[in-house]
Structure 1
Amino acid sequence: IGAGAMGVAAVWTLIMLAKPVIDGVKESLAALHTPDSEKGKHRMDIDMSIQSIAMVFSVTVVGLLGIFYAFVSPEGLPVSENLTFTFVGVGVAVLMGFFVAAACAYMAGLVGTSSSPISGIGILAIIVASLVMYALCSSFGIFSMPGGEKFATATAIFTTSIIMAIACISNDNMQDLKTGYLVGATPWRQQVALLLGCVVGALVIAPVLNLLYEAYGFPGALPRPDMDPSQALAAPQAALMTTIAQGIFSSTLAWDYIYIGLGLGVVLVVVDQLLKRNTRNLCLPPLAVGMGIYLPPSVQTPLVVGAVLGYFLRKHMKAKYGEEEAKAGFRRGTLFASGLIVGESIVGVVLAGVIVASVTNGGSEAPLAIVGKDFAGTAEYLGLAVFVLALLVFSKIVLGSKKA
């Protein structure tokens, strides 16, 4: 149901962005015919040349073709079928990626990365990629081979991962370019730096993800048979995409629920538009509702607690100090929350390194444990106490003082 609702929301977002996307493409094409003297009027108007962009695009596509071929070739299919999967998969990723990048980048530039429809786009991407791969696999008789369904699922997810990478990178880059515009940066210098950032990120992210996999595992994919599945790192969006792909290839996807979600998505879009037109501050983002349906309670609970806490803190500050101090408190809270997220992520990676080093040398999977498994019940209450303490610290930082 959540997938259906998010699919409708993503399509609606793309429809709403159609005009600005088309205008952006027209401006880019017009820049090709603009004399250099016109382009060089001010350094803040100088982007990377179209020729440079075309070169980067060509290198990227060639790299994708090589990676995709390396991904499908171990299955032992004929070369012609491997090439077909490669060109079709990369073609789907590039075509969808073009529109996805435009939509995500536009939203990031307009209101920020938090409002970008990446989750909904991921749902659309996995459905499109799965249907395309289903047609290919059926025509080549892949499903009659041992492991054919797994191959089709993996290929669809691999295609979707390329589309998602395009969406995330465009999201992040446009946010950076918007910030650069606000502070007076030179666009082409930023763009070169962002390209270098993509290369460095690609070199860093894969080993870190592999480290996390070796230390904790993911739901349905544990590196060692004796690992506790309950301790695996949650990946609800990835799990949802896998479920959709497997459902399409095995013909077991509950389409009735998808249709319910589609209907719900239409209702949510209509209600959201009515609220925006007839009220000042009320809205009902369809993507947010769709995410709320499928994300597990363990992920949603902190969001709900934070929203309620933020509402009361802001109301208190507005009544006591005024609107400006309430905004300042909101900024302090955002910065503090961002620090908690980044700090937790860094500590998680460090702990993963310690665990993997211990396991590699024949040690325990819990090298830092100071209590046994029978302490689990007490740990739950201690964790709750720490969470409440964190809320109090958070509130104190947000409220601050008028002098501060």
Structure 2
Amino acid sequence: MGSSRHQHDGQEGWETPAVDDDHHQSTDKVMVEAAFKSTPVPPWTQQITLRAMLTSLVLSLVFNFIVCKLNLTTGVIPSLNVAAGLLGFAVIKAWTTTLSKAGLLKQPFTRQENTVIQTCVVASSGIAFSSGTASYLLGMSPDVASLGGTGNMPVNVKKLSVGWMIGFLFVVSFIGLFSIVPLRKIMILKYNLTYPSGTATAYLINSFHTPKGAKLAKKQVMVLFKSFVFSFSFASFQWFYTGLDGCGFSNFPTFGLQAYKQKFYFDFSSTYVGVGMICPYMVNVSLLVGAIFSWTLMWPMIERKKGDWYSADLSPVNLHGLQGYKVFIAIAMMLGDGLFHVLYMLIKTILSLIAKNSRKDSSVVDPAGSDLDSEASDYDQFRRTEFFLKDQIPNKVAISGYVILSVISIIVVPFIFHQLKWYHILVAYLMAPVLAFCNAYGCGLTDWSLASNYGKLAIIIFSSWVGLENGGVIAGLASCGVMMSIVSTASDLMQDFKTGYLTLSSPRSMFFSQVIGTAMGCILTPLVFWFFYKAYTLGDPNGTYPAPYGSLYRAIALVGVEGISSLPKNCLSLVIAFFLAGFFINLIQELLMRYETKLRIYRFIPSPMCMAIPFYLGGYFAIDMCVGSLILFMWQRSNKQRATDFAPAVASGLICGDSLWSVPAAILALLNVNPPLCMKFFTVAQLNELLKES
């Protein structure tokens, strides 16, 4: 969720730091640790406190609802690190202030404890991403299988239940933590990787715990609270007008009914306005460009070929009709984008490792921790290195943990998914550490996590290996979960090690808070998902929760087991064209970034990954996000400093309030309490027809 630590299929490396990075990087060596010189650093056992864990549990529940709703609507998830750090600070600060006034405070609130809360919350809500409840797990369900394709035979469908989902997550989600621990000193100290999200979060937490930062944090909390109340109230107000399907503000034909039919309208979603305020401008513009290109040009053109390219009798959601073009072309563009970034990261990682290892005059700290006094060139680096090396996690423990958990997983997973055999999982775990290293290293350089791309690669490999008749669809989707869990949690943990390094938090407290947060996520994520699963219809492209990645991931598995023969007419040509377009658009952007420095044209090239998302969903959420960008742009023009200080808080409040209304709304739906009103729009001709019929 991280940062954007994850490429949430539609989102990759999107981070809006809550602080001015250039300013902090220029003053960091002089000021940061000097400000905390007189503040004692608690031992790691006192950094993980009961109040921190209780706060983390409550915030994890809140964030799981938010991420689950975003996953089930568009899959576009912004960075929630800022909100996690800010809310963690607000809750504990309010508690300790109250106890202090009563004379009962025994342990002061430290930045290390704040870091533990942030790590735990982000680890827990990160499971909502890697768990695949809205992607590969949902893709196994009978609901998604019934939408089309030939792979909906019993062996390629699995009924969802909370029990086996929690068991599966517990078996596969912890292994990635052990896969990367032995490399922590090399990544953080020897190679001194940036990990932009981890660094930005550390600066945020450090600033909260200085006198000036504490004052700003209090103001940010108040702004977040006001934004939250507005968003929650507006969402509850909208609910009253949604008595029937197609009713309410979310179906307001902002640009006319014809544009509405092509999914172009503003749906008054505070969530995606807030998401738009956090995501970079080019992400939102790319979404809008993709929506305009697909829904105003490409899909109408293909629809005119009905009866020629595909049968006119097919249902709108059948993958052998227009829906197939939407799904497979979107997947192709995403895979082209993903392939470029995987290759780019591999090449960049190899070149960077060669350059660093061949550099004889390296001034970075040796991972063994020798000659610290001479090699730590300033006070901050010396202090941080001292505490980072203080509480070690033995490599033998990490390696033993990986082996033991892998063996458990190899034994247990085939009982959950009989389509996967023990040797399939063994191969996945032999591949995973290499991919986890590449992902964690690349994330340290660029803040881009490619976990979902490695997961899609696993789908194609294992689904084709197992075959359609033997349950290749389920095998591919389950192997995606195995691979994504390792690769995703590995980069998350290294981000947290970087945050801990910059806040003098113990590596042990970071590791154990990540473990605790992961355990919370393994329980909370399936429960929250099940809440939505029982209250709403998930996976319907025209419903409230279309859950686009359930169909997309299943379609990837179907391609793996069925081959290209399953595609509609001319779909293969379009798939190849858009796959190459996704690859070469990134290549052109990278070349312009390197060799064209005057006009910086690369800034105006849209992201293929982002363009592909509206191919399937439409442009309504892209318009919401562009409205968020417009609000941020106007705010920055009028008062840049206030926008920098408070925009993340406003955005977080909008997201939290609107998303949390889904909880009482779902409870009302479960109790069969329906909204009393319906607000719907018709043309004059349609209205006259209705009046005549009545």
TM-score over 0.5 for the alignment?
Answer: yes
**Offset of residue 50 of structure 1:** 0.8
Q: CA deviation at 1:219?
A: 0.9
Matches within 5 A, 1:153-192: 153-192=473-512
What letter corresponds to residue 283 of structure 1 in structure 2? Y
> Are 2:449 and 1:116 aligned?
yes
2:581 to 252, 264, 276: 264
1:244 corresponding residue in structure 2:
556
Contact map agreement 2:334 2:582 (CA 8 A) in 1: no
**Aligned residue among 54, 72, 87 for 2:423:** 87
Determine if contact 1:101/1:170 at 8 Å carries over to the other structure: yes
The secondary structure found in structure 2 opposite 1:42 is helix
Letter in 2 for 1:248: G
Q: Secondary structure at the match of 1:217?
A: coil
1:101 equivalent in alignment to 2:432: no
> 1-side partners of 2:592 and 2:524: how far apart?
44
Higher helix share: 1
1:11 and 2:342 matched? yes
Alignment match, 1:299: 621
One-letter amino acid of the counterpart of residue 101, structure 1: A
User: Residue 263 of structure 1 aligns to which amino acid in structure 2?
Assistant: L
1:279 paired residue number = 597
Match of 2:238 in 1: none
Deviation at 1:285, TM superposition (A): 9.5
TM-superposed deviation, 1:261: 2.6
Q: Which segments of structure 1 move beyond 6 Å, counting only runs of 4 or more?
A: 33-41
1:32-72 alpha-carbon deviations (Å, 9 max, x no partner): x9879889982222442211212331343134224421223
> 1:216 aligns to what?
536
Amino acid at match of 2:573: D
Distance change (3 Å), C-alpha of 1:274 and 1:337:
same
Structure-1 residue corresponding to 2:152: none
Once residues 367 and 633 of structure 2 are traced to their aligned partners in structure 1, the CA distance between those partners, rounded to angstroms, is: 50
1:64 aligns with 2:409: yes
Are residue 369 (structure 1) and residue 681 (structure 2) matched?
no
Moved more, 263-272 or 34-43: 34-43
Q: Does 1:207 align with 2:527?
A: yes
Aligned 8 A contact 1:68 1:90 in 2: no
* Superposed displacement of residue 134, structure 1: 1.9
Trace 1:320-335 onto structure 2 (pairs within 5 A): 326-335=640-649
Q: 1:347 and 2:656 equivalent?
A: no
Relative to structure 1, the CA distance from residue 303 to residue 34 in structure 2 (aligned partners, 3 Å threshold; closer, same or farther) is closer
TM-score normalized with structure 2 length: 0.41
Task: Name the % identity.
Answer: 17
CA RMSD of aligned residues (A): 3.6
Q: Deviations over 1:199-232 (max 9, x none)?
A: 1211211111111111113215xxxxxxxx7334
Task: Look up the equivalent residue of 2:648 and give its one-letter code.
Answer: T
Match for residue 388 of structure 2 among 38, 44, 49: 44
Distance 1:172 1:334 in 2: 21
Residue aligned with 1:283, SS: helix
CA distance in 1, matches of 2:406, 2:474: 20
Contact 2:459 2:476 in 1 (8 A): yes
**Aligned residue number for residue 401 of structure 1:** none
Supply the distance in 2 between the matched residues of 1:91 and 1:8 (Cα, whole angstroms): 21
Aligned residue for 2:417, secondary structure, equals helix
**In structure 2, what is the Cα distance between the partners aligned to 1:326 and 1:282?**
24
CA distance in 2, matches of 1:14, 1:244: 23
1:129 and 2:459 correspond: yes
2:632 maps to what in 1?
310
C-alpha displacement of 1:194 = 0.8
For normalisation by structure 1, the TM-score amounts to 0.67
Which 5+ residue runs of structure 1 have no aligned equivalent? Answer: 27-32, 76-81, 221-228, 318-324, 359-363, 379-404
1:118-138 Cα deviation digits (max 9, x unpaired): 45x1xx53244333332333x
Query: Judging changes above 3 Å, is the alpha-carbon distance between structure 1 residues 201 and 269 closer, same or farther for their aligned structure 2 residues?
Result: same
1:44–1:186 Cα contact (<8 Å) kept? yes
Please tell me whether the aligned partners of residues 90 and 159 of structure 1 are also in contact (alpha carbons under 8 angstroms).
Answer: no
Query: Taking CA–CA contacts closer than 8 Å with sequence separation of 6 or more, which of the two structures ends up with the larger relative contact order?
Result: 2
**Residue equivalent to 1:223:** none
Structure 2 CA distance for aligned equivalents of residues 219 and 176 of structure 1: 34
Name the aligned partner's letter for residue 496 of structure 2. Answer: D
Q: Distance in 2 between matches of 1:103 and 1:332?
A: 35
Q: Which amino acid aligns with 1:102?
A: F
Shift of 1:282: 5.0
Counterpart-to-counterpart distance in 2, 1:301 and 1:186: 43
Distance 1:35 1:335, change over 3 A: closer
Are 1:288 and 2:610 an aligned pair? no
Moved more, 155-164 or 282-291: 282-291
Q: Distance in 2 between matches of 1:58 and 1:303?
A: 44
SS of corresponding position for 1:231: coil
C-alpha contact 1:157 1:242 (8 A) present in aligned 2: yes
| Residues 259 and 376 of structure 1: CA distance in aligned 2, closer, same or farther (over 3 Å) | same
Q: Given that residues 153 and 246 in structure 1 are in contact (C-alpha distance below 8 angstroms), is that contact kept between their aligned partners in structure 2?
A: yes
Residues 10 and 301 of structure 1: is their aligned pair in 2 closer, same or farther, counting only changes over 3 Å? same
Structure 1 residue identity aligned to 2:436: A
1:111 CA displacement: 4.9
Structure 2 stretches of 5 or more lacking a match?
A: 1-331, 358-365, 373-383, 683-694
The count of aligned residue pairs is 321
User: In structure 1, the residue corresponding to 2:607 is in which secondary structure?
Assistant: helix
Secondary structure of the 2:341 match is helix
Residues 539 and 550, structure 2, Cα contact 8 Å, conserved in 1: no
Structure 2 Cα separation of the partners of residues 50 and 56 of structure 1: 10
Tell me the distance in 2 between the aligned counterparts of 1:214 and 1:270: 44
**Aligned in 2, Cα 1:195/1:183: closer, same or farther, shift over 3 Å?**
same
Q: Is the 8 A contact 1:208 1:349 kept in 2?
A: no
CA distance in 1, matches of 2:553, 2:604: 21
